[in-house]
Structure 1
Amino acid sequence: MNKPTSAASAPAILNRDIKTIVNAGLKRRHAAETRFRWYGLIAVSLGLLFVVLMFGNIISKGYPAFWQTYIQLPIKFDPAVIDPQGSRDPKTLESADYAALVRAGMRQMFPKVEGRLELRALYGLVSSNAALELQSRVLQNPALIGAEQEIWLLASADVDTLVKGNIDRSLDETERPIKDNQVGWVDKLKAAGKIEKQFNTILFSSGDSREPEMAGIRGALMGSFYTLLVTFLLSFPIGVATAVYLEEFAPKNRWTDIIEVNINNLAAVPSIVFGLLGLAVFINFFGLPRSAPLVGGLVLSLMTLPVIIIAGRAALTSVPPSIREAALGMGASKLQMVGHHVLPLAMPGMLTGSIIGMARALGESAPLLMIGMVAFIVDVPKGLMDPATVLPVQVYLWSDLPERAFVERTSAAIMVLLAFMILMNGLAILLRKRFERRW
């Protein structure tokens, strides 16, 4: 028979049972915490993996666009073609048939090629930009007339794609953009050292073009610059002034509450709504020109203002009340207190919020599509009223084109856009670290 449990041992048994229950609960909580930690680690790792894959895909497709294929041709600047009268008149030199000089150089390289179709395929190895290059050289130095030089001229997009290995030679020629005879001529030029890849300065010095090898992003870069300039000049002072008024001077009543709620709501409004507003107000009502950086800057200012106001108010709130009390205690007016003490201390946070808002504006395309900045613009804009496009819209335009060379330029434009956005966000972090005050 079991002995009866004594009264003295009952508390010990109870304590042991409680410890068992507590330990079991602790094990469950620790296991749950470990699982949660692993879930978070897996989520972060997956996110980083997808980011790496995205950047790797963009860079692998985009970096070849920074290099362009050139063909070296013997060019004779024939006076009979360029300046038959010998007048050296700039208008005569400008209107000369420089494409004939390129064709003569190609025939000199391949004298056995005959027939209209064969010659047309041969001339297609060189870009139409080659004639413009020769024209520019002659206009800058008329002494070239009569001379003969070996000149590197821009190859066509198909040749560039072939040289970069993006065309499968094993396919039937009906399924390739470049024919068998052209492939043979390219191989001969490569064996003779007449083909090489050079840094693609055209990508950064030219505007858009229907020819992939002549398309550049300078027009989009200047359009983005003018658009962001208007955005910053409007949104920053108005946003800072609004934040200061609401936080430091505005009475706390129903109207200010409504204003604050609407500002917070505007920060979450889809960007295309601002584009519709700009189309209705700035273009249809005020009659401003479509595709102009001025209109784009006005639209992006409306979109950026709520972000700057919210960031500005947060920066003002972070300034300790003792700063205000000390300034007022020394006899400063409220305006002096805000202007001389609170605002300088809050300005780093305001600048950070403004730069982040500008970085968001730089990457926007939907509102600008609504105001016509999706147009095909060849010329580089020189002012706020000239037709222009921006980098995100240029990416959108090129991504819709079928040529393989435009895929490279699309990815290259994305790389440039990401570089600017990373630079702007890095600048925001640097300003915050450099001027941040801790109390």
Structure 2
Amino acid sequence: MTNLSAGPFRNEKALARLRKRRAADTRFRLYGLSAIGFALAALSLLVFSIGAQALSAATYHVVKYDVVLDAAVIAPKGKDTPDQISRNVDGFYSLVRENLKDTFPDARDDRRSSRELGELMTRLAVLPTARKVADNPTLMGQKITITAPLNDDLDLYLKGAASPQKKVKLGKVVSVEAETGRTYRLAGPAAFKVIESLVSAERFEVGDAVDRQSILLTTGATTGKISDVTTDSAVIDLLTGNADDFKGATPVARLIGIPQSERNVTDQQIAWTLALKDMGRISRVPHLSLLTHTDSTYPELAGALAAIVGSLLTMFVTAFIAVPIGIFASVYLEEFAPRNRVTEIIEVNINNLAAVPSIVFGLLGAAVFLGFFGLPRSAPLVGGLVLALLTLPTIIIASRAALKSVPPSIRAAALGVGASKMQSVFHHVLPLAGPGIFTGAILGMARALGETAPLLLIGMVAFVADVPSGPTDEATALPVLIYSWSTNAERAWEPMTAAVIVILLMFLIVMNGIVVLLRRRFERRW
């Protein structure tokens, strides 16, 4: 029996090289695992960041208003046609404001309070009701309930995203004494000790000035703002409700860390909102209007329906042009084109076009399709043509790779039994390469779906309030809508933008899922 340890290659130098090679293999595996871990961590962070913001936009707050449809207000003489009624926003909005003034009569005689009260709801939120009444005039004179979105800033406040706020439950209030006007003193043994300690520690400044932090005291539908506090008493300015409601109650203090001067909502508006919520008139519901409404200048009314339809129309034009041209071009270049300098130049240029920045295709589309041919601006037809040029190289390259993967024996066998070159390609080679070809086509379409720069240059960034009915109508697309909403200044647009990103990602996931299913179902390994 041979002793391997005594072999000619069994020496210290050989063993050192072996250990070094194995250490290199181990390091390489660690590098690979580290790269995968980093990629997964970055992806998880991205998904979590977008998902956390989009979750806020999944629901929103709506308010109920019971109003009587007074014909003299919503359909005055001379403006009583269905078309005029459907556009009478001011008339329907005035009914809602009157309902709010009836709910909070103290705001009726004060101009500033009346204006702030009206800002609880956006004027255009009554448009669906106006159109409903225009379609059914028999509703005139009847009492109906209008359900409309709450102002976006107040919606964010109720979600806890508008300003940092801390809730503290206080002790029992024993007595309530009126001082001057709507100012009252609440007293109770150590009832306000927590608040007094925060004020003493200079974490909060109480008072009537708008540049100071606010401490709101709430019980039920009654809210007051603390202007002075000690351990066992507090002075409040009553904002809503009846001060006697505090007697015997254990109110909740809301410590708002941002002064009124730095907020988009006032303490009075917060008090009205809390009162409406306590009355059961405010509820949080799924934000389905994000999928059923079109774009708007108000976040609470905006939706992505027009952009979704615009993207689908654009993808239809892109697929109608790019997929057949790309497949036939790849078949010709791979199976029929002679191998000469001309085809080599064509192949090199196709590979180069696949790496050209997308904005270049946008410039080309703006110059040729809009400038030279005069096609309609902001139309899915033009967007589809530009994106078809963008995806053609990708489809051609993927299709040629799929055709190359079919073994030459298939072609030889078809020709051997008497098939022509055309029959060999279209009856035998192309069906076997089909899964790979359509995989490349769908991946190219997925890339086109997420492109923004070409669509911006052909004008699809325009504000579109109507759903396009065809490829020549003015439209926008999901990536452009994301860009447009992300540039808006209001805080409420942030979760809305994240929600549309999620919608776009869902489309991409579906398209990539189709690719995986096609590959598993039809792909053949040779």
Match of 1:27 among 19, 24, 28: 19
Does structure 1 residue 39 correspond to structure 2 residue 31? yes
Match of 1:51 among 43, 59, 76: 43
Alignment of 1:36-435 (within 5 A): 36-83=28-75, 89-91=81-83, 93-96=85-88, 97-113=91-107, 114-168=109-163, 169-435=256-522
In 2, Cα distance between the equivalents of 1:215 and 1:225? 19
In 1, Cα distance between the equivalents of 2:149 and 2:5? 92
Query: What's the secondary structure of 2:410's corresponding residue?
Result: helix
The change in CA–CA distance for 1:317 and 1:16 in structure 2 (over 3 A counts) is closer
Matched-pair contact (CA < 8 Å) for 1:65–1:408: yes
Matched-pair contact (CA < 8 Å) for 2:83–2:134: no
In 2, Cα distance between the equivalents of 1:343 and 1:217? 39
The change in CA–CA distance for 1:15 and 1:316 in structure 2 (over 3 A counts) is closer
Identity %, equivalent residues: 50
In 1, Cα distance between the equivalents of 2:77 and 2:268? 39
Matched-pair contact (CA < 8 Å) for 1:230–1:297: yes
Query: What's the secondary structure of 1:69's corresponding residue?
Result: strand
1:310-352: per-residue Cα shift (whole Å, max 9, x none)? Answer: 1111111111112111111111111111111111111111100
Query: What's the secondary structure of 1:415's corresponding residue?
Result: helix
In 2, Cα distance between the equivalents of 1:24 and 1:332? 62
What is the one-letter code of the residue matched to 1:69?
Answer: H
Report the alpha carbon displacement of residue 33 of structure 1 after superposing the two structures with TM: 1.4
In 2, Cα distance between the equivalents of 1:31 and 1:61? 45
Aligned length: 429
1:34-88: per-residue Cα shift (whole Å, max 9, x none)? Answer: 1221122112111111110111000101122121210112211123323456997
Deviates more, 1:227-236 or 1:62-71: 62-71
Partner of 1:6: none
Report the alpha carbon displacement of residue 143 of structure 1 after superposing the two structures with TM: 2.8
What is the one-letter code of the residue matched to 2:309?
Answer: M
Alpha-carbon RMSD: 2.0
Q: Which of 1 and 2 has higher RCO (CA within 8 Å, sep 6+)? A: 1
In 1, Cα distance between the equivalents of 2:62 and 2:416? 74
In 1, Cα distance between the equivalents of 2:304 and 2:315? 16
Matched-pair contact (CA < 8 Å) for 1:73–1:109: no
In 1, Cα distance between the equivalents of 2:426 and 2:69? 68
Matched-pair contact (CA < 8 Å) for 2:85–2:131: no
In 1, Cα distance between the equivalents of 2:158 and 2:396? 52
Report the alpha carbon displacement of residue 18 of structure 1 after superposing the two structures with TM: 4.2
More strand by share: 2
Query: What's the secondary structure of 1:151's corresponding residue?
Result: strand
TM-score by length of 1: 0.93
Deviates more, 1:82-91 or 1:241-250: 82-91
1:74-107: per-residue Cα shift (whole Å, max 9, x none)? Answer: 2111233234569974245335411111111111
Matched-pair contact (CA < 8 Å) for 1:391–1:413: yes
Query: What's the secondary structure of 1:404's corresponding residue?
Result: coil
TM-score by length of 2: 0.78
More helix by share: 1
What is the one-letter code of the residue matched to 1:407?
Answer: E
Matched-pair contact (CA < 8 Å) for 1:133–1:153: no
Q: Unpaired segments of 5 or more residues in structure 1?
A: 1-10
